[in-house]
Chains A and B, each alone.
Chain A
Amino acid sequence: MSLIDNLARLDAATTGRAQPRATVRHRHLSQRPLVFVPLITAGEAGAPLGALIGTERTSPRLLTVAQPRDRDLRFAFLSRLAEILLPYVESYADDVEPAERTEADPETGKRVKVEVELCADAPQLIVPSRTGIEFVRLLGRSMRFRRTAEQDPDAPYPAPPRVPLLGRWLTHYGERSRVPGSSLLLAMTDLLSRHWATGQSSLEEQHLGALLAWIEAPEGTSGADAALRAELARDADGQLLCPPAGPATDPAFDNQLLAPAIERHDRARTALAAAADGVEADALLASLGAAEREIDALVASRTRPTWDAVWRGLDALCTLPEAPHTVDRWRGDRWSFTGHRDRVAAGEPPQPRVDDAVTAANKLATREREQARLDAQEALDDPLVMAGRRLAGEAFAGEVTDVVMAYSEGRAPRPRPLVTVRTPDRPQLDEGVKAYRSLAGKPQSFQFVTHTPDGALVLRLLDKMGRGKEPEPGSVPEVGDHVCWTLFEHEQRGGPRLPDPEDTPWTHGGPPETAATTPAVGTPPAPVGDRPDPVTAEDIL
C-alpha cells in the first residue's frame, strides 16, 4: 500500500467513514452475476452446511445439508448446486463472436492465425470473502475426480450425474481467480477494499459486514461505530447480530443452535426408519420435515445477511464508473471461459491434481504478465492510482515548457525532438531511462536526457511521429501541454515460449509421467493425475 492509500486510511479513521482508493471501478461487473454464499461445517474439510445462491437479489435459492456428515445428503446438495450453477454457466456458452487466435500449425509448426469462437460474455461468480474463493477451489477439487454411475458402473458411492462437471468448472474458476485483474470469480471484500480504505487494518477488512459498514455510513454518521457493531454485537442469546460471511460459522451458533437442531433431525430420522406402520411414519415424517425446516431456517438466518451485504456491495461498486481498461481484461476472462468450454466439449479429462512443470511455469508467467498489466492499466485509468505511482517516483506529470526540434544521426535522420518538462514530482530518473506517455491509447516512448540547471527535465521523443522527416501533427507535445509520463511500460511483452510438456527437459525431470509410462496391471489405463480419490465406507466427503 502506498502512502496515498495509507493517508486515505488515516482520513477514514478520523472521519469515521471510508475514503476512496480509486476514482473508477477497476473490475468488470457482470449484468447478471451469480452470487454464492456458502457455509461449511467446522472441522470438516469441504463439508458444506448450506448456501444461498442465485442471480436474483430478492429470491436466492437456499440449499442445506441437514446432516453434513451424511454422504447422501451431501451429494443431494452438490447435485442441486450443479442444477443451479451449470445452467447458469452454460447459458453463456452459445452466444459467440468470431475471433482470431495465434496457434502453432500442427503440420508446419509455424505460428498462424486461426479463426475461432469467443464467447460474447462470461458467467461471473461472486462470493463474500477470500475464504469463499478458497472454498470454491476446495469444492472443485473434491468433485472433479468423482465418478458417476454412468462413467463407472462399479464406482463405490457414485456421484450424482453432473457433480464431476461442476467440480471442473469450479476448479477452473478458482484457478482463474489467481490471475491478477481477472473477474470470473471475485470476493466482495477484495472488491470493496480495492476501491475504499477504511479506518481499520486490512486484516479487519476481511469482515464483510464491518467493511460495508464503513463504506455505507451516511454523511454525519459513524461507520466506525457501525463496523464495531457488525463485528462484535451479540443478541441476548449470545448470537452475533451480523453473522460472519462464512464459509465458517460462529462457534456460538454451532454449539447453541445448530448442534441441537441437527440432533433433533437425526432423532427424527432414526425414529422414522424404525416406524412400525404407515400412520406412525406419517407423523414421524412430519416431525422430520419440521426438523429439516428448522435447519433450513437456521442456515437462512446466517446466510441472508451476507447475501444482502454482497448485493449492497455491488450497489456501492456500481456508483463508480467502469475503468476503460477493464474491457480488455474482461476479454481475457472471456477467452479463459471459452477455452474451458472447449476443453469440456472436447471430452478432455479433469484438471490434474498437480500441475506439471511446464503448466506451472506458463501459469506463473501469465500471472506475472497480468500483474504488470494490471498495475499499468489501473494507473492509466485512474488519477488516484497514478498519484501513488507519481509519489513513488514511477511516474511524473508536468507542463511542457519547451520543445526543440532535433534529429537522429545517420544517413536518414529521423525526428527526435527534445521536450523540456517542469514537474513537481521526483521521478527516479537515471541516465537513459525510458518514459512513456499515452497517445491516443498507445504508448509513446521518450528517453530521459538531462536535468536543466533550474530543475526541469529534458526528454527525447523517440517514436509515433509518422514516417516523414517532419513529425505528424499532434504527435509531439506542445509548449503549455500538461502531460503525464510513466517510467513503467504500458503494455507487457510476452515471455519466452516454453517447451511442450512432452518436451520437458532433463533439468526438470523430463516429460511428466503418463499412463503409457506407468502401466497399471489389470486396471484400465487412467492418467495418473486423474484417478478418483479413495473412498471409505464412513460418512466423509
Chain B
Amino acid sequence: MPPQSLDARALAALAANPGCGRRALLDGAGVPKAALAQALGSPSGFGQSQFAFMRGHAFEARVKADGGTELLRLTHACLGGGPEPEPGAASVPDLTAAGPEGRAARTELALDEASAARTWTLLDHPMLALDVAGTPAFLEPDAVVVAPDGTWTVVEIKSFPMIDGSADAAKVGAAARQSAVYVLALEQVARRLDPAPEVRHRALLVCPKDFSNLPTASAVDVRKQLAVTRRQLSRLTRVEDIAATLAPGTTFDVTRPAAELAAAVDAVPATYAPECLAACELAFHCRDRARAAGELTSLGRSLRADLGTLATIDEALAAARGEAGDPDDPAVSALRRAGALRAEALAGGVRCP
C-alpha cells in the first residue's frame, strides 16, 4: 500500500496527542492506520455517512459556483484585499496536472502568476507540498484566494452551520488547525517567490448560514494554531530515524498475521488517553492495551493529576487501602483520606447537621 500523506485525520490525531510515540511513528511512516486497526481486530469505527458526504460536496460546489463569485464576495467582505470583485470576472486557473508533484508545481506557478497579475484569483483545490520531517506531505485545501493586494488566503468550506453568527467551537477549532497547516505550506511557497507575497494568518471559514444552504463566512485567526503546529512539525522525527529505533525486519504490512502485527505495534510505546477515541484510528487497540495494563490515564487524563507517581489502577487502590505506598507521599495520604471519607459516607456518614 502506498504511504498516506498527512491528511486531516492525521493532523487531528497529532493535535489530540502530540506526545504519542506510536502515533508519531505510524503517521510519520505513512502507515494506513485504519487498515492496521482492522487487521489488529480493533476497527476504528470512523466512517462517513453518504448523506453527510453528499451534502458536503453539494455545498462546496454551490460556494464555488459561477466562477467563485460568491466565495470571492465573502472573502472580500470578511477580509478585504482590494476592490470589490466583479461577479464572474475572477480568474480561476486550471490546476490539473499529473501526480501530486505535478499538481503542486502547477499550483505554485498559478500562485506566482496570480500574485503578479494582482486580480482576484480563485485556486480551486490547489495542491501544496509541505516539508514534514524531511519528506514532502501533500495537502489539498478546499481553496486559496489571491487578492488584488497580493495576499493569499486559505479557504475552508465546511458543511456544519453557522447559526446566528456562531458555530460548533470544536469543529471550528479543527478547521483552524487544518487551515494553519495550509498556511504553513503556503508560506513555504511564498518564500520561494520574489517578492514574497503575504499569506494571511486569518483563514476564511465558509459554512451554511442558519438552516439554509446559503453560504456565510467568518475570518478565523489562526496565529495560535500556527505557532503550535510550527513547533509540532519541527519536532517530528525523520522517518529514517524512527525506523532505526525499530527491531530489524519490523513491518506494519497489514497483510501479516494479526499476532505479528500486534507485536510490531506494541513494540512502539503509546500514550493512550480517551481523547484519542475521537481522533486516532488505532485508539480502540490502544485502549484495550491500556485497560489491560490498568493505566490510570485510560480513565481520563485529569485523573492522574492528583496521583503523582502512581500510574496504575492497582497501585492507586493498594495505596488507598493502605496496602502499599509511602504514607508521607501526599498522593498516598490523600488517597487514604479519600478512601476513609468515602467509606464513612457510604456507611451512613456524617450528615450536616
A binding-site residues for B, Cβ under 8 Å: 1-4, 6-11, 13-14, 20, 23, 41-46, 68, 138, 141-142, 199-204, 232, 249-252, 254-255, 258-259, 353-354, 379-380, 382-384, 386-388, 390-391, 395, 397, 437-439, 482-486, 533-536, 538, 540-541
Alpha-carbon gap, A440 to B164, bound state (A)? 49
- In the bound complex, how far is the Cα of B53 from the Cα of A7, in angstroms? 43
Please indicate the chain A residues that have their CB under 8 angstroms from the CB of B342 in the complex: 4, 7-8, 384, 387
List, in ascending order, chain B residues with CB within 8 A of A23's CB. 345-346, 349
What are the 10 closest A-B residue pairs judged by CB atoms, nearest first?
Answer: A383-B349, A43-B52, A42-B49, A251-B47, A201-B274, A43-B55, A484-B352, A254-B49, A45-B161, A387-B341
B313 to chain A, nearest CB (A): 5
Q: Which residues of B contact A42 (CB under 8 A)?
A: 49, 51-52, 55
- Show 28 A/B contacts (Cβ-Cβ < 8 Å), sorted by A: A1-B302, A1-B303, A3-B306, A7-B342, A10-B296, A10-B299, A10-B313, A13-B313, A41-B51, A43-B51, A43-B52, A46-B161, A142-B210, A142-B211, A201-B299, A202-B300, A203-B300, A251-B47, A254-B50, A255-B50, A259-B51, A383-B344, A384-B345, A386-B345, A437-B352, A439-B353, A534-B214, A536-B214
Contact between chains at B49 and A251 (CB < 8 Å): yes
Interfacial residues, chain B to chain A (CB-CB below 8 A): 45, 47-56, 159-161, 163-165, 208, 210-214, 274-275, 277-278, 284, 294, 296, 298-300, 302-303, 306, 313-314, 316-317, 320, 334-335, 337-339, 341-342, 344-346, 348-353
Set A14, A201, A391, A536: member contacting B212, Cβ < 8 A: A536
B314 / chain A contacts, CB cutoff of 8 Å:
14
Whole-angstrom distance between the alpha carbons of A323 and B335 in the complex? 27
Residue of B nearest to A426 (CB): B337
| Complex interface: chain B residues within 8 A of A142 (CB) | 210-211
B210 / chain A contacts, CB cutoff of 8 Å? 45, 142, 533
- B339 — nearest CB in chain A belongs to which residue? A7
In Å, the complex CA distance between A391 and B343 comes to 13
- By a CB distance below 8 angstroms, the chain A residues around B48 are 251
Q: Is A201 touching B339 in the complex (CB atoms < 8 A)?
A: no
**Residues on the B chain within 8 Å of A482, using CB:** 350
Q: Are B51 and A44 neighbours in the complex by a CB distance under 8 Å?
A: yes
B341 and A4 contacting across the interface, CB-CB below 8 Å: yes
Are the CB atoms of B277 and A204 closer together than 8 Å? Answer: yes
Give Cα A439 to B211, complex, Å: 54
Q: Compute how far the CA of A123 lies from the CA of B238 in the bound complex, rounded to whole angstroms.
A: 61
Select from chain B the residue with minimum beta-carbon distance to A396.
B350
Nearest to B211 among chain A residues (CB) is: A541
Query: What is the distance, in angstroms, from A97's C-beta to the closest C-beta of chain B?
Result: 30
In the complex, chain A residues whose CB is within 8 Å of the CB of B337: 391
User: Which of A11, A353, A391, A541 is in CB contact (< 8 Å) with B341?
Assistant: A391
B300 neighbours in A (Cβ, 8 Å) = 201-203
Task: State whether B320 touches A7 (Cβ < 8 A).
Answer: yes
The CA of A44 and the CA of B351, in the complex, are separated in Å by: 51
A6 touches B306 (CB 8 A): yes
- Residues on the A chain within 8 Å of B54, using CB: 43
Cβ of B208 to closest chain A Cβ, rounded Å: 7
B160 touches A45 (CB 8 A): yes
Shortest Cβ distance from residue B66 to the other chain A in the assembled complex, whole angstroms? 16
Known: A138-B163, A250-B47. 8 other contacts (CB 8 A): A10-B313, A46-B211, A201-B274, A203-B278, A255-B49, A437-B352, A439-B353, A540-B211
- B213–chain A nearest beta-carbon distance, Å: 5
Give which listed residue, B214, B344, B353, contacts A387 with CB less than 8 A. B344
Pairwise interchain contact B334-A391, C-beta atoms closer than 8 A: yes
CA distance A380 to B350 in the complex (A): 10
Contact of A383 among B161, B164, B299, B345 (CB under 8 A): B345
In the bound complex, residues from chain B placing their C-beta under 8 Å from that of A535 are 212
* B334 surroundings in chain A (CB, below 8 A): 3, 391
Q: With a CB–CB cut-off of 8 A, which chain A residues contact B278?
A: 203
Residues on B with C-beta less than 8 A from A538 are 213
Chain A residues with CB under 8 Å of B299's CB are 6, 9-10, 13, 199-201
* B284–A232 CB distance below 8 A: yes
| A380 to B: closest C-beta gap in Å | 5
CB pair B277 A484 closer than 8 Å: no
Chain B residues with CB under 8 Å of A3's CB are 306, 334-335, 338
Q: How far is the CA of A42 from the CA of B284 in the complex (A)?
A: 24
Given the known A-B contacts A10-B299, A391-B341, are A204 and B350 also in contact in the complex, defined by CB atoms under 8 Å?
A: no
A363 to chain B, nearest CB (A): 16
What separation, in Å, do the CA atoms of A252 and B302 have in the docked complex? 33
List, in ascending order, chain B residues with CB within 8 A of A203's CB. Answer: 274-275, 277-278, 300
Separation of A10 and B213 alpha carbons in the complex (Å): 48
Q: Contact at A383–B348, with CB atoms within 8 Å?
A: yes
Check if B212 sits within 8 Å of A7, measured CB to CB.
no
Assess whether A44 is in contact with B55, with CB atoms less than 8 Å apart. Answer: yes
* Chain A residues within 8 Å of B338, by CB: 2-4, 6-7, 391
CB distance from B274 to the nearest CB of A (A): 4
State whether A380 touches B352 (Cβ < 8 A): yes
A251 to B47, CA, bound (A): 6
From B300, B316, B334, name the one whose CB has the most chain A CB atoms within 10 angstroms.
B300
Min CB–CB distance A333 → chain B (angstroms): 25
Of the listed residues A138, A387, A483, the one surrounded by the most CB atoms of chain B closer than 10 A to its CB is: A387
The CB with the most chain A CB atoms within 10 A, among B53, B341, B348, is that of B341
Neighbouring A residues of B313 by C-beta, 8 Å = 10, 13-14
With a 10 A CB-CB cut-off, give which of A3, A7, A42, A200 has the most chain B CB atoms: A3
What are the residues of chain B within 8 A of A199 when measuring CB–CB? 299
Quick one: which of A43, A200, A397 has the most chain B CB within 10 A? Answer: A43
How far, in whole Å, are A390 and B341 apart by their CA atoms in the complex? 8
In the bound complex, residues from chain A placing their C-beta under 8 Å from that of B51 are 41-44, 68, 254, 258-259
Greatest chain B CB density within 10 A among A13, A397, A535 is at A13
CB distance from B348 to the nearest CB of A (A): 7
Say whether B353 contacts A484, CB under 8 Å.
yes
Determine if B335 and A43 form an interchain contact, defined as CB atoms under 8 angstroms apart: no
Instruction: Give complex CA distance A536, B306 in Å.
Output: 55
CB-based contact A438/B346 at 8 Å: no
- Which single residue of chain B is at the shortest CB-CB distance from A354? B164
Docked-complex contact A20 and B346, CB < 8 angstroms: yes
B47 close to A540 (CB less than 8 A): no
CA distance A540 to B55 in the complex (A): 11
Which of A4, A9, A380, A438 lies in contact with B303, CB distance below 8 A? Answer: A9
Is B353 within 8 A of A437, CB to CB? yes
**Minimum CB distance partner of A438 in chain B:** B353
Q: How far is the CA of A437 from the CA of B351 in the complex (A)?
A: 11
